């Protein structure tokens, strides 16, 4: 897994090449009323990131769906993107079949499997990415194809891929700092209960962080965002204790009111636990900053796995679940 994480900047470059060479037959006469990106786990987090990044600039609402069912509003003026690394994710396949019945425009992103076969049989575009690795380690490939599709469909700016490419340079330039932050983060979390806090515009990054600690480090953790957590979870800190270890991902683009909220929240938490870590973002845009945080947490999840003596690749409980579902 560590080798795959080390290749993350290169994955960005390789994924951009795949996107540039992909042939898409999008009907430009269709004015899409909505975009639905369906995917689960490591394949689905890309949809959440994209939906969040472009929520204020996209010409069309972008919705991330992680279930068996398609929203009722989807119709022939919808763009539905199925993102499944294996191509066999049953929830995603279910949604794509429903989208087909409703005559939506469908595009697949996968390494093969049933999704690829379905798209080919029904003359839908499908971008194929390299297979054979854990989906969570191939985020750049699925994520960048989603950005490319949205750009080509006119939903987001045509220059979007250029901004993604800048992220690669940031990760390479900041690699030493990223690894130092990651080691500090892993040491901080070790033998404690991790809670991730950040601003609402980075919630998808916090979700990705939680997922990486779940799968790679084999631990439970949770997340919440400002300002919403000030209206509920903060009260729960009345029962806080020194086993809790809040991690603050502080965006460079945090509003002044949310800075104040974060600082006041830290004061409250530090009355219950001596453990609190703050990591400051780097990057000239929210997208660059997201990649920066993602790479720190990816490395931290591996370092934490080493501290616990667990295999970051192993996912036996998920394999058991899938096998049990397939036999039912």
Alpha-carbon gap, residue 16 to 290, rounded angstroms: 18
User: Which pLDDT does position 8 carry in this prediction?
Assistant: 95
Residue 322 designated active-site: yes
More confident residue, 89 or 1: 89
Domain residue extents for the chain: 2-165, 174-308
Region 304-318 average pLDDT: 93
18-25, Cβ contacts within 8 angstroms, sequence gap of 24 or more: 18/127, 18/129, 18/141, 18/144, 18/145, 19/127, 19/144, 19/145, 19/147, 19/148, 19/161, 20/148, 20/161, 22/125, 22/127, 22/145, 22/148, 23/125, 24/107, 24/125, 24/127, 24/149, 24/152, 25/125
Three-state DSSP class for residue 193? strand
According to the model, what pLDDT value does residue 327 have?
Answer: 80
Same fold, 2-165 and 174-308: yes
pLDDT at 256: 94
User: By CB neighbour count within 10 A (0-12 exposed, 13-18 middle, 19+ buried), where does 111 fall?
Assistant: buried
Question: Does 231 participate in catalysis according to the annotation?
Answer: yes
| Contact between 66 and 204 (Cβ < 8 Å) | no
pLDDT tens readout for residues 119-175: 999 999 999 999 989 889 999 999 999 999 999 999 998 888 888 988 999 999 999
Residue 200: its H or E element: none
Tokens of 74: 């989807």
Determine the 3-state secondary structure of 247 from DSSP. Answer: strand
Counting Cα atoms < 13 Å in the Cβ hemisphere of 239 gives: 2
Q: What is the DSSP letter of 231?
A: G
Closest CA to 44 of 146, 125, 133: 146
- Per-residue pLDDT tens over the stretch 177-236: 999 999 999 999 999 999 999 999 999 999 999 999 999 999 999 999 999 999 999 999
Q: Which residue in the list 59, 179, 272, 322 is annotated as catalytic?
A: 322
Those residues with Cβ within 8 angstroms of residue 21's Cβ, 6 or more apart along the chain or in another chain: none
Predicted model pTM: 0.95
269/7 Cα distance (integer angstroms)? 37
- Helix (H, G, I), strand (E, B), or coil: what is residue 71? coil
More confident residue, 286 or 30: 286
Catalytic residue among 3, 231, 256, 267: 231
Q: Decide if 143 contacts 48 (C-beta within 8 A).
A: no
- To the question of domain 2-165 being in CATH 3.40.50.10490, the answer is yes
Given 91, 181, 215, 289, the catalytic residue? 215
Domain 174-308 is found in CATH 3.40.50.10490:
yes
User: Which pLDDT value is given to residue 2?
Assistant: 85
Residue 82 pairs with which residues in a beta bridge?
38, 108
Whether 97 is catalytic is no
């Amino acid at each position: 897994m560590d080798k795959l994480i080390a290749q993350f900047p290169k994955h960005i470059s390789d994924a951009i090449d795949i996107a540039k060479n992909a042939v898409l037959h999008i009907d430009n006469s269709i004015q899409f009323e909505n975009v639905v990106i369906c995917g689960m786990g490591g394949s689905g987090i890309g949809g959440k990131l994209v939906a969040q990044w472009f929520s204020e600039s996209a010409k069309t609402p972008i919705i991330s769906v992680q279930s068996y069912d398609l929203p009722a509003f989807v119709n022939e003026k919808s763009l539905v993107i199925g993102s499944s690394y294996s191509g066999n994710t049953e929830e995603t396949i279910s949604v794509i079949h429903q989208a087909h019945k409703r005559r939506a425009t469908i595009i697949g992103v996968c390494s093969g499997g049933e999704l690829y076969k379905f798209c080919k049989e029904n003359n839908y575009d499908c971008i194929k990415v390299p297979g054979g690795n854990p989906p969570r380690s191939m985020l750049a490939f699925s994520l960048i194809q989603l950005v490319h599709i949205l750009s080509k469909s006119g939903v987001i700016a045509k220059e979007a891929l250029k901004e993604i490419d800048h992220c690669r340079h940031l990760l390479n330039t900041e690699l030493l700092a990223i690894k130092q932050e990651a080691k500090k983060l892993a040491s901080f979390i070790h033998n404690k209960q991790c809670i991730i806090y950040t601003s609402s515009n980075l919630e998808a990054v916090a979700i990705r962080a939680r997922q990486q600690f779940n799968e790679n480090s084999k631990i439970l953790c949770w997340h919440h965002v400002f300002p919403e957590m000030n209206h509920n979870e903060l009260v729960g800190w009345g029962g806080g204790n020194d086993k809790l270890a809040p991690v603050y991902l502080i965006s460079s683009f945090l509003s002044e009111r949310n800075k104040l909220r974060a600082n006041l929240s830290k004061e409250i938490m530090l009355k219950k636990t001596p453990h609190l870590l703050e990591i400051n973002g780097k990057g000239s845009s929210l997208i660059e900053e997201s990649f920066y945080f993602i790479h720190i947490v990816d490395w931290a999840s591996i370092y934490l796995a080493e501290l616990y003596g667990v295999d970051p690749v192993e996912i036996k409980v998920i394999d058991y679940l899938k096998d049990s579902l397939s036999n039912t």
